[in-house]
Amino acid sequence: MCTILVIYHSQTGHTRKMAESVAKGAESIENVNVVLKRAVEATLEDLLECDGLALGTPEYFGYMAGMVKDFFDRTYNEARERKGVFKKPYVVFISAGNDGRGALNNIERICKGYQFRKVFDPVVARGEITQDILDKCKELGQTIAAGCEAGIY
């Protein structure tokens, strides 16, 4: 059984909807367990126990949500000292009021520090969350889950 950790922050509900679609997609793959958590609730143990990671954030002032950054801040130092954290596959989904590039660039920069491996293009929603965006999020979840379950990532 492989585990996909979906971490997100949401104030308006947009990123939460996206996270739920990512989780549904991952859950649709056999032998996959999904842990869906708000960033404020996610812990180092969650990170250590997962096989793949999906990160979701709204874009605030061209940056990720502070609670997502807080998750990274709370886990990085201890994660560096543990085996099994680095090289984990990850994907990103963003609810952007602008273009999402600033938030994405900063997440990718931090993920390089963790030595995570990006395995699929991000889903960036600009404006309202449409069914097309939710379908792309579901595909994102399916992709990371299927790759982890098959041992590709």
122 SS3 class:
coil
**Rounded-to-integer distance, Cα 80 and Cα 66, Å:** 21
pLDDT at 32: 98
pLDDT digits (tens, 9 = 90+) for 3-26: 999 999 999 999 999 999 999 999
pLDDT at 84: 60
**Rounded-to-integer distance, Cα 48 and Cα 79, Å:** 8
Give the Cα-Cα-Cα angle 37, 42, 47 (nearest 5 degrees): 110
Cα 65 to chain centroid, rounded: 13
Per the structure block, which two tokens stand in for 78? 């201890």
Q: At residue 85, does pLDDT exceed 80?
A: no
pLDDT digits (tens, 9 = 90+) for 26-76: 999 999 999 999 999 999 999 999 999 999 999 999 999 999 999 999 999
Name the pTM for this structure.
Answer: 0.95
Q: At residue 118, does pLDDT exceed 70?
A: yes
Domains of the chain (ranges, CATH numbers): 8-147 (3.40.50.360)
User: Which residues fall within 8 angstroms of residue 36, CB to CB, at 6 or more apart?
Assistant: 6, 8, 19, 20, 23
Closest-CA residue to 53 (of 35, 65, 29)? 35
pLDDT range class, residue 82, cuts 50, 70, 90 = confident
Residue found by looking up tokens 């997100």 in the block: 8
